[in-house]
Amino acid sequence: MANFKNPHTKYPVPPFPKQQQEVPGTESKMKPQADHGEESYQGFGRLKGAKAIITGGDSGIGRAVAIAYAREGADVLISYGYDVEDKDASDTAKIVKEAGVQVILSKGDIQDERYCNEIIKTALNEFGQIDILVNNAAYQMANTSLEDITQANWDRTFSTNIRSMFFLSKAAVPHMKPGSSIINTASVNSYHPNAVLLDYAASKGAIQNFTANLAQMLLEQDKGIRVNAVAPGPVWTPLIPSTMPEPEKFGANSPIKRPAQPVEIAPAYVFLASDESSYIAGATIAVTGGKIAI
């Protein structure tokens, strides 16, 4: 029997406890704890035998996608960036291993093209192939005025969010066979930019365009590689208490009146990677809690 729940109250609703973390934040310090599907996500073999790369796979949306992919049967390489994230990465790897698949942890700076190439080489050496590339890692920092955005912050945002996506896709595509997928994390900010996230929102708009353009390029070349994006709305991840003002109120202005939990975003990535979406390319799935994305 179906067990449908009211989306407004299915997960914690703001206000949350007052909290603040240093960038990039960690899962253990979040109040409430985020749900990545550790207990709830059930796989059905949709990705059995696939080999996937997930950037930013240690926490947040990336962790939820890693868990979902593993339980759908995929081996997973998880890339992450900071020493402070070592525990989050190892915790994610443990859950992935429990699904009976192979997991690789790779730490480095995806702003560096050499490291991006290393990710692809590692996946090829360990897995023998690459079927799914999830460009998910991102950086943001809230600023209330244009004058507060430094060149260094602007450059870091674009370098992390979109430049790395170019590096990784360029390195991966020559090794991806027909039927493979590239899935990019865009944002509701691609459609409704948050006034305090000017550089982040601009980078997410670029990701939206990059996704559509790369999809057309690969389709015209008959490579059989589909490129799509997921545009999440507000999601309760470590980036929120480490980069946003008043995280205790985060997501309250969503039509569903709460932020998403990462587990609610992961199924879109599973669908886009699976053969069930074989006629979808150049598209963006909006998982925005009711915020219209047109």
Q: Name the band, by pLDDT with cuts 50, 70 and 90, for residue 2.
A: confident
- Which one of the listed residues 80, 139, 200, 269 is annotated catalytic? 200
Q: Which residues contact 246 (CB under 8 A, 6 or more apart)?
A: none
pLDDT of residue 294: 79
pLDDT of residue 1: 74
pLDDT of residue 34: 98
Strands 51-55 and 226-232: unpaired
Is position 69 annotated as part of the catalytic site?
A: no
Expressed in angstroms, the distance from the first to the final Cα of the chain is: 35
**H helices then E strands: how many in the chain?**
8, 7
Looking up tokens 């709460």, which residue turns up?
A: 258
Q: Superfamily assignment of 42-287 in CATH?
A: NAD(P)-binding Rossmann-like Domain (3.40.50.720)
111-124: average pLDDT: 98
209-213: average pLDDT: 98
Task: Describe the crossing of helices 164-172 and 113-127 by its angle, rounded to 10 degrees.
Answer: 40
Handedness of CA 139, 244, 290, 88 (dihedral sign): positive
Looking up tokens 């067990």, which residue turns up?
A: 3
